[in-house]
Structure 1
């Protein structure tokens, strides 16, 4: 059998590692994340195709940041060229997130580039307790924030809000992209 291609191999190894660290069975993790055991089994074998939402659910169920599930161990010097990096798509919106840098156990923050197109908004469930989102729009226009408190942003605008409550992202112009820092306390 051939090895799965990254990032699937990275995700598979991370899921096994984190599940074993927590000391729970495949069935228990599937239950906690609201997934079918067969789906989780496929992900751990590197044959599944996880969405952003699936990985967020698994991260919350394991008590780890999303990045710990998609980021391989980091070398001393790391370069991510434009268009490279683990790029994941939303199931419900024209939304892509590329992880640029994951935090360590001492610096609990992750850095992403988000690409969005007008259409359906990306509804995000609450992340780990104490999570804070910091976002800077690079191009286009974006509506984001906690449900019922969304604000419109343009190029160069910055916003921060709690990531541990439901929130959303919606592109208002084609070619919208932003830099997101997820801070985990």
Structure 2
């Protein structure tokens, strides 16, 4: 089964578990009903923005549609999802009583900007830059961060990623409070 099929199956399962119709999830997420149907059937390639819109509407972390119970690290094959500026590969998912934390290896494309909608209430993001310089954080008050630097921001509000001078590579932690899920 390919990535599109796996993601589609997980979206469908999460939607059913929440007792939502296709139309209701489309309304809550702002994703078109036709697009959602194609995603669930595995015939459409999901974008990062679309997956965040759906998982936020489902009140779940992004990793809920990218990764089932993860196999041992040696058996993993990383799957990348892309948005308008950011390509993200889920490399770890940690869950405890307090939170779910998704760890991504990301690339922000040179000159590109991606505005991300608010995630589930209480969500935070933390980005450590490996190379390049990024402008990231809360919309209207982003921070500039370079190699070796780390910036954190509340991700339950609109935020952005921008690579003004070349590709940016980094490690992104997205932490969802368990109480919000």
TM over 0.5: yes
Provide structure 2 residue ranges, at least 5 long, that are not aligned to the other structure.
none
- In the TM superposition, what is the alpha-carbon distance from 1:150 to its structure 2 partner? 1.2
Provide structure 1 residue ranges, at least 5 long, that are not aligned to the other structure.
none
1:23 maps to 19
How many residues were matched structurally?
176
- Moved segments of 4+, more than 6 Å: none
Q: Using the TM superposition, name which of 99-108 and 133-142 deviates more.
A: 99-108
Counterpart of 1:78 (choices 73, 82, 92) is 73
What TM-score does the superposition give when structure 1 sets the normalisation length? 0.88
Counterpart of 2:171 (choices 159, 162, 179) is 179
- In the TM superposition, what is the alpha-carbon distance from 1:105 to its structure 2 partner? 6.1
2:141 maps to 149
1:32 maps onto 2:28 in alignment? yes
SS of residue in 1 equivalent to 2:49: helix
Looking at structure 2, the residues matched to 80 and 124 of structure 1 have their Cα atoms a distance apart, in angstroms, of 31
SS of residue in 2 equivalent to 1:129: coil
1:87 maps to 80
1:29-65 alpha-carbon deviations (Å, 9 max, x no partner): 1111112222111111111111111111100111101
Are 1:10 and 1:72, in contact at CA under 8 Å, matched by a contact in 2?
no
2:37 maps to 41
Cα root mean square deviation, aligned: 1.7
